[in-house]
């Protein structure tokens, strides 16, 4: 199973595209894959709105997507804590030091996008799956889901050096998960700095695939950049 807060063929976020590619590529290699996600449409949409109906659907690539409803949350308190976290100077962040109060940290983690039915499904069906791949690190279905099925859990954290990563609930997920799968050496180095050498034995630098855009005749686009001026854009922010 792949567990992620949002999922869709056309979502453009890095983690969202990576989740789609994992599902499609593993299925193509003969693995049976379920994607477990919410009925919310995307990170940019209201996290309390169910855009999709709950239930299962099969994608043309051969894997199934099971969607679970989201519920309301304490948005005012969450926004207050999130604004505080975003205002912190990155130079002030120190590994092992809580950047906000323990109470506010708990508010932030507990009032992220929430899907109790998804978490209940994980607990009830843990034995039905050989492994759960969670991504990215920050959201409710991931942090709560890892706690529910930690013995079979692998995390693709998509980790950044940001205030959220210094919260104790995030550290707890990194410690509990069975495997940590990193997309770059820099990301793994950051995780070791934040969470200590105790995670080294379960850390694997797996990298990430890059999909070629097909040309009109179905062949891959040439790798040589255009000879004129061009712009390389990385990341939606």
Q: Which residue ranges in the chain fall short of pLDDT 50?
A: none
- Return the pLDDT at 209: 82
C-alpha closest to that of 14 among 174, 233, 226:
233
Q: Is the dihedral of CA 179, 181, 185, 189 positive or negative?
A: negative
Residues in the chain: 237
pTM for the whole structure = 0.89
pLDDT digits (tens, 9 = 90+) for 168-218: 999 999 999 999 999 999 999 999 999 999 999 999 999 998 777 666 665
Three state DSSP letters for 156-208? CCCCCCCHHHHCHHHHHHHHHCCEEEECCHHHHHHHHHHHCHHHHHHEEECCC
Three state DSSP letters for 84-100? HHHHCCHHHCCCCCCCC
Q: How many CA atoms lie within 13 A of 117 on its CB side?
A: 12
DSSP assignment of 105-128: HHHHHHTSS--HHHHHHHHHTGGG
């Amino acid at each position: 199973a792949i567990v992620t807060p949002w999922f869709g063929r056309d979502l453009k976020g890095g983690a969202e595209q990576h989740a789609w590619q994992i599902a499609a590529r593993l299925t193509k290699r003969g693995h049976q894959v379920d994607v477990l996600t919410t009925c919310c449409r995307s990170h940019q949409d209201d996290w309390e709105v169910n855009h999709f109906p709950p239930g299962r659907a099969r994608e043309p690539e051969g894997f199934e997507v099971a969607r679970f409803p989201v519920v309301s949350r304490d948005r005012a308190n969450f926004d207050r804590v999130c604004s505080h976290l975003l205002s912190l100077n990155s130079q002030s962040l120190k590994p092992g030091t809580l950047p906000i109060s323990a109470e506010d940290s708990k508010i932030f983690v507990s009032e992220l996008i929430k899907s109790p039915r998804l978490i209940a499904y994980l607990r009830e069906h843990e034995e039905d799956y050989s492994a759960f791949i969670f991504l990215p690190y920050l959201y409710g279905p991931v942090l709560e889901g890892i706690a529910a099925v930690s013995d079979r859990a692998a995390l693709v954290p998509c980790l950044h050096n940001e205030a959220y990563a210094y919260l104790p609930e995030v550290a707890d997920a990194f410690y509990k998960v069975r495997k940590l799968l990193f997309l770059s050496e820099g990301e793994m180095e950051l995780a070791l700095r934040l969470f200590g050498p105790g995670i080294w034995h379960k850390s694997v630098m797996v990298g990430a695939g890059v999909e070629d855009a097909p040309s009109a005749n179905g062949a891959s686009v040439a790798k040589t950049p255009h000879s004129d001026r061009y712009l390389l854009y990385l990341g939606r922010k």
